Chain A
């Protein structure tokens, strides 16, 4: 994935079954963001792979004051990339099982 300065990773092991999964977002390089993030903490949240959209979660983080509006695309992209990877891995596991 492209280096956005924001890293999103799984906060729990993916059992490949549940739709809602815990994820963790960390700012790795604040210089890559246009605005100043609130702090350098890790933000843990749950993401529903079937219902949630990365753009909405990014906007919620901005509403909550973690990031500035100008970084919404960067945050959304970081989440989207990770979600795509999780989905891809699940598909591959499913194919292997069949």
Chain B
């Protein structure tokens, strides 16, 4: 998937990128 951007009213930008499932299952 592609990255999503959220801008908070305080001005900070959050860039959300999906983490691959394989990485989540690492110990």
Chain A residues within CB distance 8 Å of chain B: 26, 39-46, 56-57, 60-61, 63-64, 66
Contact = CB atoms under 8 A, between A and B. Distances in A.
Looking at chain A's contact residues, the main secondary structure is mixed
Interface of B: 4, 6, 8-10, 12-19, 24
Contacts of A40: 18-19, 24
Given A43-B15, A44-B15, A46-B12, A64 B24 contact: no
B1 to A, nearest CB: 9
A60 B8 CA distance: 7
Contact of A44 (B9, B17, B18): B17
Nearest to A48: B12
A5 to B, nearest CB: 12
